[in-house]
Amino acid sequence: MKQVLRSFFVQDTVTVAKKLLGKIIYVNGCTARITETEAYTDDSASHAFKKTERSKIMFDTYGQVYVYLIYGMYHCLNFTTEKKGKPGAVLIRAAEPLSGMELMKRKRGAEDLHNLCSGPGKLCQALGIDKRHNNLALGKDVKIFDDGFLVGKIGKGSRIGIKDALHLQWRFFIDGNRFVSKV
DNA sequence: CCAACGATGGTCT
DNA sequence: GACCATCGTTGGC
C-alpha cells in the first residue's frame, strides 16, 4: 500500500479533489476510504477569496492539514493544494469506515456505519480530528494511502452549505456509494 | 416524510 | 455584531 506524499498536492485543486476519491485516510489508529470531496480555490465561496489569518495556510502551503471550526461546534478537515502563492484546499466531506469502527462509534455516539463519516463534521468527530491538527504536515498524525482501489464513475455537483459560486460543480463523490453525505 | 430551527464559538469587519 | 464549507432535533403534514 503506497503512501500519498505531500508533493501530490502541488497540482490543480480540482484534480486533487477528484484523485483523493478512493484513497484511504489514516488518523488516530482509524482508517476510512474517502468517498466525497470538495475543491476550494480563490472563488467567492472559498475562505481564500481573501487572505486572512485563517486562510493564509491555503496560500502559503500544500500538503498541509487545514482544520477549522464551523458553527461553533464542528470541525472540517481539508488538505491544502497548489504551489506557494496560489491558494487551494480540498475539503474531505465523507468516507467509508474501514478499521477502528468501534472507536468511531463511541466518539460519534452512533451505531450505523453510514452515520459515522457521512459529512465533514461527522468525519472529524469520528476520527478525532480538531484544531490541534491544523497546519500539521501530511504524513505526521494524518496520513493518506493508495491501495489501488478503482473508483469507477465520479459524480459531481455544486458544493454544499455555501451561497456563492453555485455554478461551480466542485463537489465530487464516488457515484452510487452509500457512504456519502447525501444519499 | 421533510422543512425549519437552534446550538455555539472562532473569525472577520 | 454578523456570519458561517454542520448536524440533530423538532414539529407540521
CA dist A139 to A26, A27, A101, A116, A125, Å? Answer: 9, 10, 22, 23, 20
> Which bases of chain C come closer than 7 Å to a protein CB?
4-8
Over residues A53-106, the pLDDT tens digits come to 999 999 999 999 999 999 999 999 999 999 999 999 999 999 999 999 999 999
Could you identify the residue written with the cell 486533487?
A16
- Distance between CA atoms of residues A151 and A177, nearest Å: 10
At A71, give phi and psi (nearest 5°).
55, 30
Over residues A133-177, the pLDDT tens digits come to 999 999 999 999 999 999 999 999 999 999 999 999 999 999 999
Query: What is the pLDDT, as a whole number, of residue A6?
Result: 98
Q: What is the DSSP pairing of strand A2-3 with strand A142-146?
A: antiparallel
Chain centroid to Cα A110, Å, comes to: 21
In window 63-82 of A, residues with CB < 7 A from nucleic chain B are: 68-73
Amino acid A101 CA to nucleotide C1 C1' distance, rounded Å: 42
- Distance between CA atoms of residues A135 and A57, nearest Å: 7
State the Rg of chain A over Cα.
Answer: 15
> Which bases of chain B come closer than 7 Å to a protein CB?
7-13
User: For A112-133, what is the mean pLDDT?
Assistant: 98
Using an 8 Å Cβ cutoff, are A80 and A67 in contact? Answer: no
Banded model confidence at residue A27, pLDDT cuts 50, 70, 90: very high
Query: What is the pLDDT, as a whole number, of residue A182?
Result: 86
Using an 8 Å Cβ cutoff, are A146 and A25 in contact? Answer: no
Predicted structure pTM score: 0.97
Nearest nt (C1') to A50 (CA)? B12
Using an 8 Å Cβ cutoff, are A15 and A63 in contact? Answer: no
Query: What is the pLDDT, as a whole number, of residue A16?
Result: 98
Using an 8 Å Cβ cutoff, are A178 and A114 in contact? Answer: yes
